[in-house]
Amino acid sequence: MDLQFLERILDGREKPTNLSFTLLKSITQNFSDDREIGHGGFATVYKGVLPNGNVAVKRIRNSHSINEALFYREVDSLLNVEHKNVVRFLGFCASTEQTAIQIKGSKQHIYAEVRERLLCFEYISNGSLQKYITDELRGLEWNTRYKIIRGICEGLHHLHKEKQIYHMDLKPDNILLDNDMVPKITDFGLSRLDEKSKTMSEERHGSLGYCAPEYLHQGKMSFKSDMYSLGVIIIELVTGQKAIPNNNNNVLRRWRHRWKKTGNETPFVYQQVAKCLEIGLLCKEIDPSKRPYIWHLIHVIREVEGANEKISNAYEHTFGHISPYLEDDMLGIEPLQLHFPFELNNQMSCEIQLTNDTNSYIAFNIENTSPLSYHTQPQKGIMPPQSKCNVDITMQLQGKAPGYMHRANELIVWSTKVNDCIAVEDITMGMFINDAVRVVDEVNLDVVFDDNEPQESSDKSNEVSSLRILNCKASSILLVSSANDL
């Protein structure tokens, strides 16, 4: 009967209510490791399987430290929240039982109270926003990122304006994405259930990058604290980084480079990027009184969208402090994710192509930032206008598989415009520092080892095959090969 009732709640035919511990234990296979889908400092989340769909069961750890009054207050808040950008609450369990524990070496028993506090939500299959955070050059297209930003703002507006609830732990891990990439906010208010969390406890350390200064240092909680967290998320969605960008123009350059390749360049997207950066920076003001409320942001977003049809020419507008560049002046790099066909004790190699579609000379240097050994051929060079060059990247012999088969930011391609009289030997890392006159591009390369057929390790060394000869499209290109950093 309990199972059928939960099915009706999931279908929307019944309202969320209290659920039995026996039911939640059954649908998660006794909270088995195979059903675990999330783990944090506060709770463990399990997948619950029903005949008509799946649910997420959050089992709160350290239930004895939970303040009962706070628990029921937060449950009451969850019961009253219903919005497309907030994870749907299905029910709760507050089970308390007495269990007899035999005293060792005695026939006597002591009686202990076993408390279980659980929450049940709709199951969101696409995971959290965290795994989709990338820089401007890869990952989600801008339109998808903008819809996510807008959805987060609308969900937070519902919590703040309609329900008077502040989140206090807003971060990409607490924003889930459904199959249509619609964002859904989760875990609002739950971090406050533990009485220990009134001070800066260990459980909150995972959120430090998103935590408002007044909350971090003084424990002050308010709507404006959530706005700081929102600002970090917006900047991260636009740039891939939590930090405030040093140069907003450079952010737009990188987006323009991507839009040129995909044909998605329109005047409106420039305005969207600029406005998102602007509101992200405003939300990150140290002084809470200078941060906007969420209803102000919703108003700004609607104004921007209302102006879409009025924009007729991208080059007649300056969006904030950002002016669109007329020329895509970045060095093209393909691919941004390198795939090595991994085999133990064999040399592995793959190739990237650098493309200079500009009318300028561009110097580049490829830096290895990994503890693994990569050899690049060439490591640095000067590319004339309208030229291409293939760069061979070789992985040195491995006695064992690397710790991680998918490795982010293994290599960096640095590039900058130079005059035509510079020589390759003049290229130094000092050239790749942004200043008032020089624009430097830094592009990270990820590495994936494709281990389709695991290989046995062999004591016999394989002879290292010679490096492939470069296939350079421009005969006048100047190159140098080196396995060492400059």
Residues recognised as catalytic: 169
Cα torsion for 173, 84, 241, 56, to the nearest 10°? 10
Put residue 187 in one of left, alpha, beta given phi > 0 → left and psi -120 to 50 → alpha: left
Contacts of residue 246, Cβ cutoff 8 Å, sequence gap at least 6: 434
Rounded to whole angstroms, how far apart are CA atoms 229 and 290?
14
In angstroms, the CA 196 to CA 208 distance is 17
**474 exposed, middle or buried (CB, 10 Å; 0-12, 13-18, 19+)?**
middle
CB 169 within 8 A of CB 290: no
Cβ atoms within 10 A of the Cβ of 367, count? 17
Per-residue DSSP letter, 209: G
Contact 410, 370 (CB under 8 A): yes
Calculate the CA dihedral of residues 232, 236, 242, 243 and round it to 10 degrees: -100
Q: How far apart are CA 292 and CA 228, in angstroms?
A: 9
Per the CB < 8 A criterion, the answer to whether 168 and 215 are in contact is: yes
The DSSP secondary structure of 113-136, one letter per residue, reads EEEEEEEEEE--TT-BGGGG---T
Cα diameter, the chain = 93
User: Is 58 among the annotated ligand-binding positions?
Assistant: yes
Token pair in block for residue 83: 């919005």
Q: Rounded to 10 degrees, what is the CA torsion of 155, 156, 157, 163?
A: 100
Are the CB atoms for 148 and 234 separated by under 8 Å? no
Distance CA 258, CA 240 (A): 14
> Could you tell me how far CA 74 lies from the centroid of its own chain?
27
Q: How many CA atoms lie within 13 A of 216 on its CB side?
A: 13
CA distances from 455 to 130, 393, 397, 411, 458 (A): 33, 22, 13, 26, 9
- Binding site for ATP, by residue number, is 58
- Binding site, by residue number, is 58
